[in-house]
C-alpha cells in the first residue's frame, strides 16, 4: 500500500469514526442511522466517481498535448511514456488520476492497483 493509499484509508477510518460518534449522539433510531449512512455512502461514491472521471479526462488531455493526437495518446496511455517525466504536466496529471482512482477504489472497498498498473 502506498503512502497515498494509506493516507486515504486513514482518512476514511477517521471519517467513519466521526460519523459513528455523530450518529450515537444524535438520538437517531438504528434504522434512521443506517439510512443516513447509506445516503452518505451513496454521495461519497458519486463524488469519487466524478473526481476520477475528471482526473482521467485531464490525464487524457495531457496525452494529446504531449503526443499530438488521440491515436498516439491512446497508444501511450498504459506505457511508461504515458506517466510522463518527473515534474512534467503529464506526470502531474497521471499522479492526480491515480490518486482519484485510489480514492474511488477505497470508497468502494476494493484494492487499487499500484500506480502504472491501473
pLDDT digits (tens, 9 = 90+) for 9-26: 667 677 777 767 776 777
Torsion of CA 76, 77, 80, 84, to 10 degrees: 90
Residue 5's pLDDT is what?
62
Low-confidence winner among 65-69, 87-91, 92-96 (lowest mean pLDDT): 65-69
Q: Is the pLDDT of residue 118 over 50?
A: no
Q: pTM to 2 decimals?
A: 0.60
User: What CA–CA distance (Å, rounded) separates 31 from 15?
Assistant: 20
**Nearest in space to 9 (alpha carbons), one of 117, 114, 95, 110:** 110
Q: How far apart are CA 54 and CA 77, in angstroms?
A: 16
**Which sequence spans correspond to the domains of the chain?**
3-108
Amino acid at each position: 500500500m502506498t503512502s497515498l493509499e494509506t493516507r486515504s484509508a486513514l482518512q476514511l477510518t477517521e471519517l467513519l469514526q466521526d460519523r459513528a460518534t455523530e450518529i450515537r449522539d444524535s438520538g437517531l433510531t438504528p434504522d434512521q442511522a443506517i439510512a443516513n449512512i447509506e445516503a452518505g455512502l451513496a454521495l461519497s461514491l458519486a463524488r469519487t466517481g466524478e473526481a476520477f472521471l475528471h482526473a482521467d479526462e485531464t490525464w487524457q488531455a495531457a496525452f494529446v498535448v504531449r503526443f499530438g493526437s488521440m491515436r498516439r495518446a491512446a497508444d501511450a496511455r498504459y506505457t511508461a511514456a504515458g506517466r510522463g517525466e518527473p515534474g512534467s504536466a503529464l506526470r502531474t496529471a497521471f499522479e492526480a488520476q491515480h490518486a482519484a482512482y485510489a480514492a474511488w477504489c477505497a470508497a468502494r472497498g476494493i484494492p487499487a492497483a499500484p500506480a502504472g498498473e491501473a
